[in-house]
């Protein structure tokens, strides 16, 4: 029997109702039922694995991408600004570096006159901030400086607070 004759509905019906046709159909149904059962056995394992990997990935991301604050050094003089002034200076520095172009003079005005521990307070108040470009990584204040300013501007800022960054 050739393949072209199977297109006739009467021939297909005759084959499907024959004992060999019934066996073939039942084997096909059994095979698909077994495949579905095996798939259903694997699904919980895959879901559990994806859940565990997701939790581990989230924990790893939170652990590795967290802000690491600096500690004030007790061998240096006490900070010459309060925590609230440090926060307002950090906010001013962030606003000076966001948007089109970074305002190095405004940043310089906000770090000018800080001693080491005062700079540490501003640095800690700044924390990690999202970059200007969508989906960019979070950066601390010094990383923002390196990202936004050229070497001449960085030298100017380093002069204001020596030996800090």
For domain 83-160, which architecture applies?
Orthogonal Bundle (1.10)
Residue extents of the structural domains in the chain: 3-64, 83-160
3-state secondary structure of 129: strand
Q: 103-112: per-residue pLDDT in tens?
A: 999 999 999 9
Per-residue pLDDT band for 65 (boundaries 50, 70, 90) equals: low
pLDDT above 80: residue 135: no
Rounded percentage of the chain residues whose pLDDT exceeds 70:
87
Distance CA(149)–CA(89), nearest Å, equals 18
Q: What mean pLDDT is predicted for residues 11-36?
A: 75
Q: 33-42: per-residue pLDDT in tens?
A: 888 888 888 8
**Residue 17, pLDDT score:** 72
Distance CA(42)–CA(66), nearest Å, equals 36
């Amino acid at each position: 029997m050739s393949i072209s004759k199977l297109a006739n509905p009467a021939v297909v019906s005759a084959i499907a109702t024959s004992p060999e046709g019934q066996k073939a159909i039942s084997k096909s149904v059994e095979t698909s039922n077994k495949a579905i059962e095996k798939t259903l056995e694997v699904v919980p394992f895959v879901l559990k694995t994806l859940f565990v990997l997701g939790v581990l990935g989230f924990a790893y991301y939170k652990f590795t991408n967290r802000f690491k604050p600096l500690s004030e050094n007790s061998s240096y003089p006490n900070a010459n600004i309060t925590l609230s002034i440090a926060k307002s200076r950090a906010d001013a520095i962030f606003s000076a570096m966001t948007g089109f172009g970074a305002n190095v003079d405004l940043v310089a005005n906000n770090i000018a006159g800080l001693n080491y521990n005062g700079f540490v307070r501003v640095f800690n108040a700044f924390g990690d901030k999202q970059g200007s470009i969508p989906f960019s990584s979070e950066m601390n204040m010094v990383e923002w400086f390196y990202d936004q300013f050229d070497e001449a501007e960085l030298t100017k800022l380093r002069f204001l607070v020596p030996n800090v960054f």
